Amino acid sequence: MKETFIEIVRKQTTPYWEGSFSHPFIVQLEDGTLPIENFRYYLIQDAYYLRHFSALYKRVAEITSNPILKTQMLDNANDLAEGELAIRAKFFEELGITDTELKETGVAPTAYHYVSHMYRQLVENNDAVAAASLLPCSWLYFEIGQKLRQSNEPSPVPIYQDWIETYGGDEARVAIEQECTLLNQLYAESSQEDKESMISAFVISARMEFNFWEMAFNFEKWPVGIAND
């Protein structure tokens, strides 16, 4: 029996997927030792990412002729607006992150490259490939939330625990299962070339998810270059 899309990509992304669970950013967020400056930097970079992530859901919905994919993408965009984005606004207020700070903080390389990667799928590929590039974010965050919620002790830092409780709920589980089933179907109906593109798009996004933790943990910046005197 042939492997499904989901089975293939999970095998190919194990170091990044499982590695996210044990990344110092997540471990320290759970035990409360993550410096708040790292969390603020993460939130600022994530604000850039989520703004485009929402736009990408809507763009895929616009270009697809598949009614199931259209509905899935629009539902995802709506859930993002009512859930994660609304909670982020609360975090910004609590941590004093202003619109001015958001504008003045440069977009880190990983955040920029991740968003650019997903937009590229709309230009070079098709709706199925673009949807494949979007799946790792919501799926991985669901599993991280699910794992951390099962911890014996909540994070001692209230805002970190609020972040944890944003993910891993039953509604998210249903949405992820539906999207995985849909991606399996789209993969089965695709040409060999598109199948390979779907796998590649997902794998790169999964790598970028791991890099996002690295970015926030290390305050990633663009290199300053070399000035010629």
Decide if 180 is catalytic. no
Decide if 45 contacts 175 (C-beta within 8 A): no
Decide if 133 contacts 202 (C-beta within 8 A): yes
Q: Which of 30, 84, 137, 179 is catalytic?
A: 137
Decide if 209 is catalytic. yes
Q: Which of 30, 84, 143, 209 is catalytic?
A: 209
| Catalytic sites, residue numbers | 137, 209
